[in-house]
Amino acid sequence: MSKTTKEQSATEKDKLSQSEQHYFTSYDHFGIHEEMLQDTVRTLSYRNAIVQNKDMFKDKIVLDVGCGTGILSMFAAKNGAKHVIGVDMSSIIEMAQKIVDINGFSDKITLLRGKLEDIVLPYQKVDIIVSEWMGYFLLYESMLDTVLYARDRYLAPGGLIFPDKCSIHLAGLEDSEYKHQKLDYWQDVYGFDYTPFIPLVMKEPIVDTVESSLINTTRTKIIDFDLNTVTLEDLKFNVPFKLQAKRQDTINGLIAWFDNVFPAPKGQKPIEFSTGPYAAYTHWKQTVFYLEDDLECEKGDILEGTLFCAPNGKNNRDLDVKIKYDFKAGGVDGKERSVKNENTYLMH
Ligand SMILES: C[S@@+](CC[C@H](N)C(=O)[O-])C[C@H]1O[C@@H](n2cnc3c(N)ncnc32)[C@H](O)[C@@H]1O
């Protein structure tokens, strides 16, 4: 089997846009792969899903979209795949080749360097696609586009995608201390007024772990994606949400997370994992959208609205998010506490 080298890349990196070069360079270093490998919720979910489906992997041709260090390719090869093609644009694939070789999978795994969209696979069709493409807030990085391209171009009819179901969830939270610390800092920077930074800070969602005790509303699923059928157009969406306050408190942000489900043999519980605040830590943490308003809520008050999400026009790996909200407070002072607003964000 030929070795994967820099010279063999199907894509000339210099010809990619600056942002694409930057994106793939971010995966060159081993550190980011170390973090992903050490995320046991993530990595063991993939392994367990493949082991659970050993019968489906037996003698199958598998495509690993964005193989990184080759971990998913090796899980597939070890669990019966006839042959695995791993594709990656980043130079990490050179390490993957060494790892595949020293672990004795050289005959079972072929690694190809380049953008999947530029590579011609040695098989017309594959039986299974495995890919770990999820970004912060699920869709950041827009790598799902590549998986959908691979599905439409290479997946045989009836083929499987691991994972194949994802959903995004939302809840309200109180995090006044952190929110105001982040904003108030700009009020007085060494005696100077730096407040023009505040709108910029507000526009950036925060990726961090959130204590579930800070969540003060019901939670809701805002969207489901079935990877077997979802289209690129579906990745731009505007969805309604409705949350109910669970206690007297302040709602000053919305927290979002995503869940993933793998295919399972008939009658068996599928392997799934959540990146939410009620589940074990993952490197995706959660995403917090601070609201311009601090909404004084009483139990039962309703926060409803819409969440719009679309790839950014200038860099489609970034995400534009717009949250419109209508907070309907009850009680004698309900009218004064009710607020309508619209906040925009850029994840980049
Ligand atoms: C999140 S990492 C996952 C790595 C590995 N599969 C794992 O689970 O540890 C995604 C990988 O996909 C690669 N990638 C993203 N888009 C790609 C594309 N269009 N073509 C080839 N590789 C791509 C990146 O370079 C990166 O190494």
- Three-state secondary structure readout of 30-79: HHHHHHHHHCHHHHHHHHHHHHHCHHHHCCCEEEEECCCCCHHHHHHHHC
pLDDT for the residue 7? 56
Q: Whose CA is nearest to atom 18 of ligand 1?
A: 115
Per-residue pLDDT band at 234 (split at 50, 70, 90): very high
Which residue out of 94, 141, 174, 296 is catalytically annotated?
141
Mutate to test the pocket of ligand 1, among 20, 21, 25, 27 (most ligand atoms within 8 A of CB): 27
Residue 346 in 3-state DSSP? strand
State how far the Cα of 206 lies from the Cα of 201, in Å rounded to an integer. Answer: 9
Residue 88 C-alpha to ligand 1 middle, in angstroms?
A: 6
Q: Which residue has a Cα nearest atom 25 of ligand 1?
A: 90
Q: What is the pLDDT of residues 73-91, one digit of tens each?
A: 999 999 999 999 999 999 9
Share of the chain above pLDDT 70, in %: 98
Compute the C-alpha angle 267/167/207, nearest 5°: 135
Domain ranges of the chain: 6-132, 166-347
User: Which pLDDT value is given to residue 3?
Assistant: 53
Element (H, E) at 334: helix 334-337
Q: What is the pTM of this model?
A: 0.95
Asked if residue 149 has its Cβ within 6 Å of ligand 1, the reply is no
CATH 2.70.160.11 fits 166-347, yes or no: yes
39 lines ligand 1 (CB under 6 A): no
141 catalytic residue (yes or no): yes
Is the CB of 72 within 6 Å of ligand 1? yes
| Residue that the structure tokens 């171009």 belong to | 153
Count Cβ atoms below 10 Å from residue 239 Cβ, excluding itself.
15
Q: Between 179 and 69, where is the model more confident?
A: 69
User: Which of the listed residues 11, 16, 24 should we mutate to test ligand 1's pocket, taking the one with most ligand atoms within 8 A of CB?
Assistant: 24
DSSP structure class, residue 135: B
The number of residues in the chain equals: 348
Nearest residue (CA) to ligand 1, atom 15:
66
Average pLDDT along the chain = 95
Q: Measure the CA–CA gap between 199 and 245, rounded to whole angstroms.
A: 26
Which two structure tokens, joined as six digits, stand for 79?
A: 């669990």
Query: In the CATH hierarchy, which fold is given to the domain comprising 6-132?
Result: Rossmann fold (3.40.50)
Write out pLDDT tens, residues 99-130: 999 999 999 999 999 999 999 999 999 999 99
Which of the residues 132, 233, 272, 292 is marked catalytic? 132
Tell me whether domains 6-132 and 166-347 share a fold. no
Per the rule left: phi > 0, alpha: psi between -120 and 50, beta: everything else, 156 is beta
Over residues 276-319, the pLDDT tens digits come to 999 999 999 999 999 999 999 999 999 999 999 999 999 999 99
Query: In this predicted structure, what is the pLDDT of residue 4?
Result: 59
